[in-house]
Amino acid sequence: MAEAEESPGDPGTASPRPLFAGLSDISISQDIPVEGEITIPMRSRIREFDSSTLNESVRNTIMRDLKAVGKKFMHVLYPRKSNTLLRDWDLWGPLILCVTLAFTTYILQIFRMLQRDSADSEKDGGPQFAEVFVIVWFGAVTITLNSKLLGGNISFFQSLCVLGYCILPLTVAMLICRLVLLADPGPVNFMVRLFVVIVMFAWSIVASTAFLADSQPPNRRALAVYPVFLFYFVISWMILTFTPQ
């Protein structure tokens, strides 16, 4: 039993009483209610809304998720060291970006087929929709596994979330490249595209490193960051080269 500073068996002094001495005097009488509900000082109607999001309108759900995705896009575009991307991870953003990337290659492919108006689409060696999708998702999964095997303390889906969101600059680069290619092709055109892709590649690396580097012990940080570099390099290469000539 916890005693105050005095030694046990010292009945003389009256000043520091033992701590729980009066506990035995308390008895729970029948008229003190010990059950009931704990209410927070708010209107009870709100409690019903908090308990389930099933009852809200679809528009509310979609807007809430879209706002979360948009907020994370902002975090990627201005990479600061914040935990939002890691804490409330979601995979909507990566899915949207990956589908955008893959779908644009599909549109380009169709466009090229229509332009050439020939049946030799088999010789078209550009990336198919499935190739882009597979490279992005399997690349992200491999990097996440690598990071976890090296001993990082980031969870699987958090890492997927960060890697997927940091494709955003490269998606922007691809849309810019597509627009630039509407002008006449030439070396200047290529230089502009190269510059844009390099800048966006660096942006992706910086953004993802800002989130992922802290999860590794410092003696293995380079080992965990290099696969991310390789991943974004391959995606940049795909973006730079698959635009039609």
Partner 1 sequence: MSGGEISSRTLQIFFLIIGRRLTGRMAAVDDLQFEEFGNAATSLTANPDATTVNIEDPGETPKHQPGSPRGSGREEDDELLGNDDSDKTELLAGQKKSSPFWTFEYYQTFFDVDTYQVFDRIKGSLLPIPGKNFVRLYIRSNPDLYGPFWICATLVFAIAISGNLSNFLIHLGEKTYHYVPEFRKVSIAATIIYAYAWLVPLALWGFLMWRNSKVMNIVSYSFLEIVCVYGYSLFIYIPTAILWIIPQKAVRWILVMIALGISGSLLAMTFWPAVREDNRRVALATIVTIVLLHMLLSVGCLAYFFDAPEMDHLPTTTATPNQTVAAAKSS
Give min distance, CB of 133 to partner 1, in A.
Answer: 13
Give min distance, CB of 60 to partner 1, in A.
Answer: 39
Interior angle at CA 199, CA 195 and CA 204, nearest 5: 145
- Return the number of other C-beta atoms located less than 10 Å from residue 203's C-beta: 20
Give min distance, CB of 40 to partner 1, in A.
Answer: 41
The DSSP 8-state label assigned to residue 91 in this structure reads S
Residue nearer to partner 1 on the CB measure, 49 or 111: 111
Give min distance, CB of 111 to partner 1, in A.
Answer: 15
198, 190 in Cβ contact below 8 A?
no
Give min distance, CB of 242 to partner 1, in A.
Answer: 6
Residue nearer to partner 1 on the CB measure, 76 or 236: 236
The DSSP 8-state label assigned to residue 82 in this structure reads -
Residue nearer to partner 1 on the CB measure, 61 or 241: 241
What is the per-residue burial (b if ≥16 Cβ within 10 Å, else e) of 64-80? eeeeebeebeebbeebe
What DSSP element (H or E) covers 114? Answer: helix 92-116
Residue nearer to partner 1 on the CB measure, 77 or 230: 230
Residues found near partner 1 in the complex (CB under 8 A): 123-128, 131, 146, 148-151, 219-223, 226-227, 230, 233-234, 237-238, 241-242, 245
Residue nearer to partner 1 on the CB measure, 77 or 191: 191
The whole-angstrom separation of Cα 35 and Cα 44 is 19
The DSSP 8-state label assigned to residue 31 in this structure reads T
